[in-house]
Amino acid sequence: MTVLRTLTLASALALAATPALAQDGGTASGKRFSVVGGVTLLEPHHDPATGYDIDGGPAPALSASYHITDNWGVELWGLADTVDSRVRGPEGKVGTIEQQPIALSGQYHFGQADNVFRPFVGLGYYHSNISGEDLNPGGDHIGLTSPKGAIGTVGVDLNIDPTWFARFDARYMRARSDARVGATGVNVAEDIKLDPWTVGVGIGARF
């Protein structure tokens, strides 16, 4: 419901402000920095290992970008809080983990800086911090190694005026993790397929 409410609010703001953009005498062109705050829904792969499932959830997200030109930029993006995920096995709940990705990506924004709709794509590298594992209650601690790898992004900015815009984006992270016994470091599972994807909405400002 939080994601839905944020999406509805961002859409309403963008659509209501569209006529004002055409009448505004300023321009978004040449502005080199932007920041975005919003909410992101993270969902891991539905079948990370045979018979197991990991839930996702929403978290606040932040990003900061440097725009080399009106079309090319570099973005630092991440979740501002952890996503608490329940791990389920064939017989029910196994335990929980917390995950918090951060990524650095190159991006290309299509069209002119003042266009109302600015689609963009991105490709980069991410690292996800895995913490708070409780995967073997009552037994030896079992932890997950921190996944890292490629991240792909697609999205669109809806310009409200030369400074403000609404953002909708989706991201996919290729993630593999090993499960290890904390006391010995011995792997009990390898190449667990987390592969989370995200859908996010937010409000941004450029300057």
pLDDT digits 0-9 by tens, 81-121: 999 888 877 777 777 888 999 999 999 999 999 999 999 99
* Average pLDDT value for residue range 129-140: 69
Condensed to tens digits (0 to 9), the pLDDT of residues 50-89 reads 667 888 899 999 999 999 999 999 999 999 999 988 887 7
Q: What is the CATH number of domain 2-206?
A: 2.40.160.20
pLDDT band for position 180 (50/70/90)? Answer: confident
pLDDT for position 144 = 79
More confident residue, 56 or 151: 151
| pLDDT given for residue 137 in this prediction | 57
Q: Is the pLDDT of residue 24 over 90?
A: no
- The pTM (predicted TM-score) of the whole model is 0.81
Write down the pLDDT at residue 171.
Answer: 97
Per DSSP, the residues of 31-93 read --EEEEEEEEEEE--S-SSTT-EE--EEEEEEEEEEESSSSEEEEEEEESSPEEEEEEETTEE
Contact status, residue 44 vs residue 85, Cβ threshold 8 Å: yes
Give domain limits for the chain: 2-206
Cβ-Cβ contacts under 8 Å for 66 (sequence gap 6 or more)? 32, 33, 73, 74
For the segment 192-199, the average pLDDT, to the nearest whole number, is: 88
Confidence of residue 146 (pLDDT cuts 50, 70, 90): confident
- Give the per-residue pLDDT at 185: 63
Q: What is the pLDDT of residue 191?
A: 75
Of the pLDDT bands very low, low, confident and very high (cuts 50, 70, 90), residue 23 is: very low
